[in-house]
Structure 1
């Protein structure tokens, strides 16, 4: 799979390193240049490779556009109650669209195994409840948006598991891993904003977010319905 996308992979690694460097040195100008490159490169590659021929790809595309908007909003955190909330709403909407795309695969055959999705449902329930109890005293006015956000995140992850045996194994693995990477990314940035603003948590957020978007887009490109 990686050989088929070698040129784009190299380009994306450069974008990843550019973003991590900009964050590590706290260069806001570099961050404002580097961050939009994530969404722009993935959007363009998705368009070229899929031509938006199926509803699945259209939903992923719109979700990616909204997610890119959320990325840009996160650059402006001097007024967190406005910018962070806006980014949260945009990302929430993108997860909803990703989940809707995964549901298209799931509903193709409700009779096939739901084992993987059911296991993920339990895992996400434990993880989200645990994270909520860790940060509930620091969420403040964000408590209800946070509950809605992590609920949608969980739905997306679980639906990625319900694609099992409904699409080819490569697409399933890529998108499932990408969904888990989103969960790690969101827990990292949530910890940074509401528990302890350690720089390592922002770097963890950025790395896992870049990986997550890459895996979901590649999983969408490589998707074959069984």
Structure 2
């Protein structure tokens, strides 16, 4: 078992344990000091793990990834006080900015064909339209923040799919699965907040999906290998071998 694999498994188990503790605290002592510690710890763990084990060749990508995780941390803190409208709006914008920085981190300097993004765009658009249809009557002052968030989420999904031909398969799969968990969390959060507040196990599901999504995305980014760089390295090695 490789060093990365051992560290990834150990970190994942520890992260999931903290996530379960946070869920228990949310159910029993939401908006307490304990919740600030438990929920804040999740993003801090991800930032620490990424900082220690990332293999970013670009300082710009590292900057965007770090900013994304920092804004998720800020959003997490604001969401604890979601009953205060202003804090809820701040949380939505913080999460939106975090996903926007994920978009910047996922982007590659290459052209793409429309058919590459059609499946992801269609699925995301239909899902967002369905959710907006269900919650629209109850959004009120949250209409534009929610619209902004859904727009960024669509970009988030599209650019995660566009990584396919540029990174190794393991990294791509981890990030894509994480993106779908994020969509599940966002959908449930929107429905419970603005449509139906009695969905079974809503608190557990939203936090579990959110936490797992963040974990998988960070693991995927840490494991990422740029295929163009890797192919160039192999070609150079082959040429040196021939010489």
TM-score by length of 1: 0.91
Residue by residue over 1:168-215, the C-alpha shift from the partner in whole angstroms, topping out at 9 and shown as x without a partner, is 001111111111211111111111211122362222110011011101
In 1, are the aligned partners of 2:27 and 2:203 still within 8 Å (CA)?
no
1:20 is aligned to 2:26: no
Report deviation, 1:51.
6.7
In structure 2, the partner of 1:202 is 203
Equivalent pairs counted in the alignment come to 221
In structure 2, the partner of 1:213 is 214
Report deviation, 1:53.
4.8
Decide whether aligned partners of structure 1 residues 137 and 32 sit closer, same or farther in structure 2, where only a CA change above 3 A counts: same
Out of 116-125 and 25-34, give the one that drifted further. Answer: 25-34
In structure 1, the partner of 2:235 is none
In 2, are the aligned partners of 1:2 and 1:9 still within 8 Å (CA)?
no
Residue by residue over 1:57-97, the C-alpha shift from the partner in whole angstroms, topping out at 9 and shown as x without a partner, is 32111110011000011111231x11100101111100110
TM-score by length of 2: 0.85
1:5 is aligned to 2:8: yes
In 1, are the aligned partners of 2:55 and 2:222 still within 8 Å (CA)?
no
In structure 2, the partner of 1:39 is 43
How many angstroms apart in 2 are the aligned matches of 1:77 and 1:144? Answer: 17
Q: Is the partner of 2:52 in helix, strand or coil?
A: helix
Residue by residue over 1:88-126, the C-alpha shift from the partner in whole angstroms, topping out at 9 and shown as x without a partner, is 1111100110011111x3x3x326x76553210110011
Among candidates 61, 67, 70, match of residue 62 of structure 1: 67
1:95 is aligned to 2:96: no
Alignment of 1:114-193 (within 5 A): 115-193=115-193
User: What are the ranges of 5 or more consecutive residues in structure 2 without an aligned counterpart?
Assistant: 228-243
How many angstroms apart in 2 are the aligned matches of 1:177 and 1:51? Answer: 21
Q: Please say which structure displays the higher CA radius of gyration.
A: 2
Out of 153-162 and 199-208, give the one that drifted further. Answer: 199-208
How many angstroms apart in 2 are the aligned matches of 1:117 and 1:218? Answer: 24
In 2, are the aligned partners of 1:59 and 1:98 still within 8 Å (CA)?
yes
How many angstroms apart in 2 are the aligned matches of 1:38 and 1:18? Answer: 10
Out of 154-163 and 113-122, give the one that drifted further. Answer: 113-122
Report deviation, 1:143.
1.1
How many angstroms apart in 1 are the aligned matches of 2:178 and 2:77? Answer: 21
In structure 1, the partner of 2:232 is none
Two-structure CA RMSD over aligned residues (Å): 1.8
